[in-house]
A = this chain, B = another copy of it.
Amino acid sequence: DDTMAPEDAKASKGPVLKTPKGTRDWSGADMILREHLFKTISDVFKRHGGTPLDTPVFEMKEILAGKYGEDSRLIYDLDDQGGELCSLRYDLTVPFARWLAMNSITQIKRYQIAKVYRRDQPAIARGRFREFHQCDFDIAGVYDPMIPDSETLCVITEVFEALKLDVTIKLNHRKILDGMFAVAGVPADKTRAISSAVDKLDKMAWADVKKEMVEEKGLAEEVADQIGEYVQNKGTIAETMVYLKANEKLVANDDIKAGLEDMGLLATYLEALGVASSQISFDLSLARGLDYYTSLIYEVITKPTPPTLDADGKPVRRSKKEKEDPANQVGSIAAGGRYDNLVGMYGKKQIPCVGISFGVDRIFTILKARAEKEMRTREVDVYVMAFGGKEFDGMLPERMSIARQLWNAGIRAEFSHKVKPKLPAQFKAALDVPLAVIMGADESAAGQVRLKVLNQGKEESAESNNGELVNKTDLVEAIRKLLI
Contact = CB atoms under 8 A, between A and B. Distances in A.
A31 B53 contact: yes
A27 B76 contact: no
Contact of A400 (B84, B119, B273): B273
A58 to B, nearest CB: 6
Given A16-B60, A21-B81, A144 B53 contact: no
Given A60-B15, A79-B76, A274 B23 contact: no
A59 B16 CA distance: 11
Contacts of A86: 20
Given A31-B53, A47-B412, A119-B81, A18 B60 contact: yes
Interface in A1-45: 14-21, 23-28, 31-32, 34-35, 43-44
Q: Which of A51, A63, A398 has the most CB of B within 10 A?
A: A51
Nearest to A403: B273
A380 interface: yes
Given A16-B62, A102-B17, A401-B272, A380 B49 contact: yes
A99 interface: yes
Contacts of A397: 268-269, 271-272
A144 to B, nearest CB: 5
A412 B46 contact: yes
Interface in A85-125: 86, 88, 98-99, 101-102, 110, 115, 117, 119
Contacts of A369: none
B99 A46 contact: no
Contacts of A396: 147, 269, 272
Contacts of A141: 417
Nearest to A412: B47
B81 A79 contact: no
A379 B27 contact: no
The main secondary structure of chain A at its interface with chain B is mixed
A246 interface: no
Contacts of A346: 14-15, 17
Contacts of A269: 396-397, 400
Contacts of A101: 17
Contacts of A398: 272
Given A79-B78, A269-B397, A273-B404, A417 B144 contact: yes
Q: Which of A58, A77, A273 has the most CB of B within 10 A?
A: A58
A419 interface: yes
Nearest to A14: B346
A406 B158 CA distance: 12
Contact of A35 (B52, B76, B143, B401): B52
A398 B268 CA distance: 11
A19 B94 CA distance: 12
A14 to B, nearest CB: 6
Given A99-B27, A110-B27, A400-B273, A49 B412 contact: yes
Contacts of A151: 417
Interface string A367-402: 000000000011110000000000000001110110
Contacts of A19: 55-56, 59-60
Interface in A437-467: none
B31 A52 contact: yes
B27 A54 contact: yes
Contact of A53 (B17, B25, B54, B272): B25
A345 B14 contact: yes
A25 B54 contact: yes
B102 A49 contact: no
A347 interface: yes
A378 to B, nearest CB: 5
Contacts of A27: 51-54, 99, 110
Given A274-B404, A274-B408, 4 more contacts: A19-B60, A48-B412, A51-B378, A143-B418
Interface of A: 14-21, 23-28, 31-32, 34-35, 43-44, 46-49, 51-60, 62-63, 65, 76-79, 81-82, 84, 86, 88, 98-99, 101-102, 110, 115, 117, 119, 131, 139, 141, 143-144, 147-148, 150-151, 154, 158, 268-269, 271-274, 345-347, 377-380, 396-398, 400-401, 403-404, 406-408, 410-414, 417-419
